[in-house]
């Protein structure tokens, strides 16, 4: 495995730069399919079957995912491995860094919309919700649902345009949404029913999405598949949107490319190395604390102070 690492780092340099960050941004990174041997370097249990006989040493015991995979016909073997790696890395990272038990979940990956529609009837009762999900997944590559569901759409142009690392990352991103929803408890049930231009019950959209991105980067970094510091040092943060303008759902989704990068920079500054501050925040909101109070308690400074801190940081970049 040692000799894989230099290749992996080279791969990282080419694959991570420009990687799409969120479920709705366009993937413009083109990268050859990740070879199974490189996947082995993640040392995740879910991808171990591809390990060559001499791949060692034995990695330390890791948290075992509780995710069931339902793959429709036509999902490429490498895509199955990326999805499993995304789950395994995120599960393992959240267990090690924050003591979060694996979330019981099901990942559906169906290239054909009508087969996805039929499969989802096993987990979603409301046909209108299924219909809406199938329509969204004709365009977006992945989404997370209440009840521990991750839906991946490997036939979308955006999934196809993503590099192998980016495909792993988007699944890790969705897995963290499941963690958030589990910590939020009943508050998570109000996410979908809250009008898109209102104050979010789950906390600001920049934090909800930015923390999923941040965790996905950290999870892949633990397997040396990406380097967030390196990435952030290489990019220019757009300055036409302020973080205070990314709190509601509609603000976030109208922010174009800014919505991918600015929240990631913000969460990196907010959290530093303390991922438990994120889980404390969502736990507190789940217990009924208004998000601004939970923010002060979890992150050690009130929202306006953090916004000022971030503006100062961005001005100094």
CB of 210 to Zn ion, least distance (A): 9
CA distances from 242 to 239, 265, 308 (A): 7, 12, 10
CB of 170 to Zn ion, least distance (A): 9
The residue (of 164 and 180) whose beta carbon lies closer to Zn ion is: 180
The residue (of 158 and 209) whose beta carbon lies closer to Zn ion is: 209
CB of 4 to Zn ion, least distance (A): 30
Residue with structure tokens 């967030």?
228
Q: Round to whole Å and give the CA distance between 23 and 169.
A: 10
In sequence order, the 6+-apart residues with CB closer than 8 A to the CB of 57 are 1
Part in contact with Zn ion (CB under 5 A); list of ranges 113-121, 202-210, 240-248, 308-316:
202-210
Residue with structure tokens 């979060």?
100
CB of 62 to Zn ion, least distance (A): 24
Binding letters toward Zn ion, positions 50-89, x by CB under 5 A = ----------------------------------------
Three-state DSSP state, 265 = helix
81-90 residues labelled b (16+ CB within 10 A) or e (exposed)? bbbbbbbbbb
The residue (of 41 and 170) whose beta carbon lies closer to Zn ion is: 170
CB of 213 to Zn ion, least distance (A): 8
In sequence order, the 6+-apart residues with CB closer than 8 A to the CB of 290 are none
Binding letters toward Zn ion, positions 3-42, x by CB under 5 A = --------------------x-------------------
CB of 137 to Zn ion, least distance (A): 14
Q: Round to whole Å and give the CA distance between 32 and 65.
A: 28
Give kind and range of the element (H or E) at residue 109. strand 105-109
Q: Does 212 bind Zn ion (CB under 5 A)?
A: yes
Q: Which of residues 219-258 bind Zn ion (CB under 5 A)?
A: none
The residue (of 192 and 308) whose beta carbon lies closer to Zn ion is: 192
Q: Please count the CA atoms within 13 angstroms of the CA of 238 that sit on its side-chain side.
A: 13
Count the site residues for Zn ion by CB under 5 A.
3
The residue (of 23 and 275) whose beta carbon lies closer to Zn ion is: 23
The residue (of 140 and 241) whose beta carbon lies closer to Zn ion is: 140
- Extract the tokens encoding 168: 């792993």
Three-state DSSP state, 33 = coil
Binding site for Zn ion (CB under 5 A): 23, 209, 212
């Amino acid at each position: 495995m040692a000799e894989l690492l230099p290749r992996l780092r080279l791969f990282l340099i080419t694959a991570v730069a420009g990687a799409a960050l969120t479920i709705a941004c366009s993937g413009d990174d083109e990268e050859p399919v990740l070879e199974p041997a490189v996947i082995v370097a993640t040392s995740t249990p879910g991808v171990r079957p591809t390990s060559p006989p001499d791949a060692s040493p034995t990695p330390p015991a890791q948290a075992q995912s509780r995710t069931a995979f339902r793959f429709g016909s036509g999902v490429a073997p490498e895509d199955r491995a990326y999805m499993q790696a995304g789950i395994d890395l995120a599960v393992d990272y959240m267990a090690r860094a924050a003591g979060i038990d694996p979330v019981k979940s099901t990942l559906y990956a169906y290239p054909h919309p009508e087969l996805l529609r039929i499969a989802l009837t096993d987990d979603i009762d409301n046909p209108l919700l299924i219909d809406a999900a199938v329509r969204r997944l004709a365009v977006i590559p992945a989404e997370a649902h209440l009840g521990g569901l991750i839906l991946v759409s490997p036939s979308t142009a955006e999934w196809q345009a993503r590099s192998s690392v980016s495909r792993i990352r988007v699944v890790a991103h969705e897995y963290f949404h499941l963690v958030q929803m589990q910590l939020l408890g009943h508050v998570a049930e109000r996410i979908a029913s809250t009008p898109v231009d209102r104050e979010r019950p789950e906390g600001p959209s920049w934090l909800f999405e930015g923390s999923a991105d941040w965790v996905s980067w950290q999870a892949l970094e633990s397997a040396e598949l990406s380097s967030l510091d390196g990435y952030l040092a290489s990019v220019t943060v757009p300055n036409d949107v302020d973080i205070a303008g990314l709190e509601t759902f509609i603000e976030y989704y109208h922010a174009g490319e800014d919505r991918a990068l600015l929240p990631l920079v913000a969460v990196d500054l907010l959290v530093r190395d303390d991922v438990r501050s994120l889980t404390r925040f969502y736990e507190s909101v789940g217990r009924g604390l208004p998000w601004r109070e939970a923010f002060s308690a979890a992150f050690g400074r009130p929202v306006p102070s953090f916004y000022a801190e971030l503006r100062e940081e961005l001005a100094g970049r």
